[in-house]
């Protein structure tokens, strides 16, 4: 169809996919829409090659094969079941899989491409955010500083000890006296 007649809308990861479309090919490609409503765009942090390899190894092991090529020859139902098992075993509120930089469609993180002005500019956008969206992804069982630290560590594979310490002690300290933008551990985690 005619992209000038298309308006897309997304919230959360759906809005994150809009960001990927807008920055596709570093902003030099055609965008399949003319207008977008983007609410709280988010996508999982781009992970390391090691993490991606671990995800792939887990996936093929669930299929009882050794390579992606072997997996491609299996029935759709087996692929769907392995996918459901892998995602079902993921940490609370995580999505496990997400877009990665491929050097072509996604030449860099959309955040970086937007900052560098490498995005389609002939679009009409309505952008907003959703208050407290993080609550949807916040494990209800986090009650201690140790559980909070483990949550941050698990959500950021490969994070250094110094970066983890900075996040939990400086950026989001366990201070609930009103001096922070949160007043309890659930809000802090969110």
List, by residue number, the catalytic residues.
Answer: 12, 133
Per-residue CA distances from 8 to 50, 124, 128 (Å):
34, 11, 14
Q: What is the DSSP-derived secondary structure letter of residue 137?
A: G
Which of 111, 103, 133 has its CA nearest to residue 22? 111
Q: How far is CA 133 from the centre of its chain?
A: 13
Three-class SS state of 92: coil
- Cβ–Cβ < 8 Å for 190, 135: yes
Helix (H, G, I), strand (E, B), or coil: what is residue 185? helix
């Amino acid at each position: 169809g005619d992209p000038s007649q298309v308006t897309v809308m997304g919230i959360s990861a759906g809005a994150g996919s809009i960001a990927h479309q807008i920055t596709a090919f570093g902003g030099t490609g055609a965008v399949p829409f003319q207008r977008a409503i983007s609410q709280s765009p988010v996508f999982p942090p781009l992970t390391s090659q090691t993490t991606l390899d671990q995800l792939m190894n887990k996936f093929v092991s669930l299929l009882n094969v050794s390579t992606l090529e072997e997996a491609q020859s299996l029935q759709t139902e087996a692929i769907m079941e392995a996918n459901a098992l892998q995602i079902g075993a993921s940490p609370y509120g995580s999505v496990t899989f997400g877009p990665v930089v491929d050097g072509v469609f996604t030449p860099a993180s959309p955040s970086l491409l937007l900052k560098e002005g490498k995005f389609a500019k002939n679009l009409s956008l309505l952008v907003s955010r959703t208050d407290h969206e993080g609550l949807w992804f916040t494990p209800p069982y986090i009650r201690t500083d140790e559980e909070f630290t483990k949550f941050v560590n698990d959500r950021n594979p490969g994070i250094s000890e110094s970066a983890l310490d900075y996040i939990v002690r400086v950026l989001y300290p366990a201070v609930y006296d009103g001096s922070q933008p949160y007043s309890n551990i659930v809000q802090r985690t969110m």
